Structure 1
Amino acid sequence: MMGPTHALSGAVAWLAAVPLIQDAGLLQGYAVQLSAGQIAAGTVVCAGAAMLPDVDHHDGTIANTFGIFSRGLCKVVSKVSGGHRQATHSILFALGAGYGADWLATHHERIWWVLLFLLVGLGLRGLGVGTGSSDAFTGVLNALAAAGLVYWMHDVDMTWAGYAVALGCVVHVAGDCCTPRGCPVLWPAPWRLGVPLIPRTNGRAEKWVITPLLTLGAVILAVRTAMGDEITSWLESKA
């Protein structure tokens, strides 16, 4: 799947998961009550995290987001992880990324802000911030937008960070499992899971079916989330 599809799937997954994350009965002591600002921030972070497994791709969206820095990082990760769609496309990676994000957000705030900047930048690039005319201009535009959003988030409680990052990575892996090549979900076990619901990456099914459905889902869930309290109050008044 392409970067924009992954980013949209992350945004949709986060908005859909918000009620579950806030459900104390479901999470039994691990529930997190999210403000409107946290939900909005989590949407962008989860969209960025939904692209994170492709840090093993030397010429993917991540590699082209921050110029020479991101390209160099992706080449290194690709070599260490065994190539594209290997170690980073697994449940183990998703859990590790989520735990790492939670640990940094709660214990090493300065390092977390750097990671947050990268995640927000990835989310924005995946959701369409950029221009096809100049990679350099796109990188600068993306960095400025990401820096602005991170500054806005500087006083937002980040107790949700681990959830957003882990969920984004899991959604990415699930999406790539819908292609013929599949993913080594249980890495380091070599077995790959692939259900070819999407015959070809960036093909007609992804462009004209998956992406429009994800876009519609994001809009519906965003409206539902924004109007949740008002709808609940209205329904209670009619009961």
Structure 2
Amino acid sequence: MMGHSHALTGWCAGLVAAPMVGLHTLPEVIPFATAAAGYALLPDLDHPHATASRFLGPVTRLLSTVLRACSRGLYSLTKGPRDERCRGTHRHLTHTVAFAVFLGWLAAGLSELGGGWTVGGIIAFGLLLAADVLGDWLLVVAVTAAGFTAYFGGLDDALTASTGWVGAAITIGCVAHCLGDAVTKSGCPFLWPIPIAGETWYELRPPRWLRFRTGGNVERLLVVPVFTVAGVLLLPGVWGQIMSVLSRFSPPSG
């Protein structure tokens, strides 16, 4: 269930951040939000049974194994005197802002080197990952947006222009994942390597009464519905249209 929440919060974070990187129209915003939604699932590659780990069969399972080994080694090398005794795999290396920034930087660099079709591959991976969780409707929306872009501006040019934001979308998605995990009972050490109270891997989380259990009623009955609605209202032009319709039914002033 948490995968659904991560994809939705990544989608919403992408919609909020899109204007900050100069994206305003639906054909521009949808690929950005889709990439953020897909890559909001990526930090859970450190769990062997997560959607991201099962996504491409043996390829992503191998990547998951490598990431868990790296996370275990990094935890062993950098843990503070008060860090808990654990393997340091799930919710460690990939659940940090440092990892999110590094992955965004890496994607941006590969995009610059490989050009538009490399960008397309990065976006397509995020799209397919998000659609695997949110449903095939996302594929229809994304393909429609790509069709408009290809018709009016040329898909090659649009993909080349996307090199400027693809890294940001990935970082935003991963950070959204970390923030989502931070409000669960286990928390999330996303400020590593900053030492806090003797812990390098300090699990940030709100007061106990604000935390919820992964896959529990709070997530299912509150988090998912709220972000589903927000994911529609944040689309460019939707809120303005709703206010325009409501204004027709409001009584005239004076």
What SS is found at the alignment partner of 1:191? coil
- Structure exhibiting the larger radius of gyration computed from Cα positions: 2
* Alignment counterpart, residue 85 of structure 1, candidates 82, 91, 113: 91
Q: Take 1:93 and 1:148, find their aligned partners in 2: how far apart are those partners?
A: 30
Which residue number corresponds to residue 196 of structure 2? Answer: none
Pairing 1:1-239 to 2, within 5 Å after superposition: 2-19=2-19, 21=20, 31-82=21-72, 83-109=89-115, 110-129=117-136, 154-155=155-156, 156=158, 157-158=161-162, 159-188=164-193, 189-195=200-206, 196=208, 197-222=210-235, 225-227=236-238
| Letter of the structure 2 residue corresponding to residue 14 of structure 1 | G
Q: Take 1:129 and 1:198, find their aligned partners in 2: how far apart are those partners?
A: 31
Q: Take 2:143 and 2:205, find their aligned partners in 1: how far apart are those partners?
A: 39
CA separation of 1:219 and 1:33: change in aligned 2, threshold 3 A: closer
Identity of aligned residues (%): 33
Deviations 1:123-151 (A, max 9, x none): 11121349xxxxxxxxxxx9x98x96898
Please, what TM-score do these two structures have when normalized by structure 2? Answer: 0.72
Deviation at 1:87, TM superposition (A): 0.8
Deviations 1:71-108 (A, max 9, x none): 22212211212211001101101111222222222222
Instruction: Confirm or deny: 8 A CA contact 2:97 2:190 kept in the other structure.
Output: yes
Q: Take 1:34 and 1:80, find their aligned partners in 2: how far apart are those partners?
A: 39
Q: Take 1:231 and 1:9, find their aligned partners in 2: how far apart are those partners?
A: 22
| Letter of the structure 2 residue corresponding to residue 177 of structure 1 | A
CA separation of 1:173 and 1:149: change in aligned 2, threshold 3 A: farther
What SS is found at the alignment partner of 1:184? coil
What SS is found at the alignment partner of 1:63? helix
Deviations 1:34-83 (A, max 9, x none): 44322011111010111111111111011222222222221221121221
For the aligned residue pairs, the C-alpha RMSD in angstroms reads: 3.1
| Letter of the structure 2 residue corresponding to residue 2 of structure 1 | M
Please, what TM-score do these two structures have when normalized by structure 1? Answer: 0.76
Q: Take 2:92 and 2:131, find their aligned partners in 1: how far apart are those partners?
A: 25
Q: Unaligned regions of 5+ residues in structure 1, if any?
A: 22-30, 131-141, 234-239
Instruction: Confirm or deny: 8 A CA contact 1:105 1:112 kept in the other structure.
Output: yes
Q: Take 2:129 and 2:104, find their aligned partners in 1: how far apart are those partners?
A: 16
CA separation of 1:33 and 1:63: change in aligned 2, threshold 3 A: closer
| Letter of the structure 2 residue corresponding to residue 187 of structure 1 | W
Q: Take 1:116 and 1:81, find their aligned partners in 2: how far apart are those partners?
A: 26
Deviations 1:182-214 (A, max 9, x none): 111122322221225342111111001100001
Runs of 4+ more than 4 Å apart: 147-154, 227-233
